Amino acid sequence: MPSKTVAVGSSVGLHARPAQLIAEAVEELDVEVLLGIPGDEPVDASSSLLIMTLGAGPGDLVEVSSDDQAALDAIVALVEKDLDAE
């Protein structure tokens, strides 16, 4: 599965609000997307609770994986964005 490693852009990491926005975007895309800390087991990115279990803080590296390139690009953009600033 293709993947890209990116830094978390949200100023407080992947807590409730950013995790929910990412999970909602994955649900809308209707394709499998995985998120994980490099070297650890990835989680289903359609679940905000599973995303929060990663414990990813601001600037931490997260690996985004999907067989769908458009979905991969969309979720990478969300992870890199400060979703708390909106």
Closest by CA to 83, choosing from 17, 16, 23, 1, is 17
Distance, in Å, from the CA atom of 3 to the CA atom of 12, rounded to the nearest integer, reads 24
| pLDDT for 86 beyond 70 | no
Q: Which superfamily does CATH assign the domain made up of 3-80 to? A: HPr-like (3.30.1340.10)
pLDDT tens digits, one per residue of 20-77: 999 999 999 999 999 999 999 999 999 999 999 999 999 999 999 999 999 999 999 9
pLDDT, position 85: 79
pTM, two decimal places = 0.94
Share of the chain above pLDDT 70, in %: 99
Helical residues (DSSP H) of the chain, grouped into ranges: 16-29, 48-53, 69-80
pLDDT, position 84: 84
Domain boundaries of the chain, sorted by first residue: 3-80
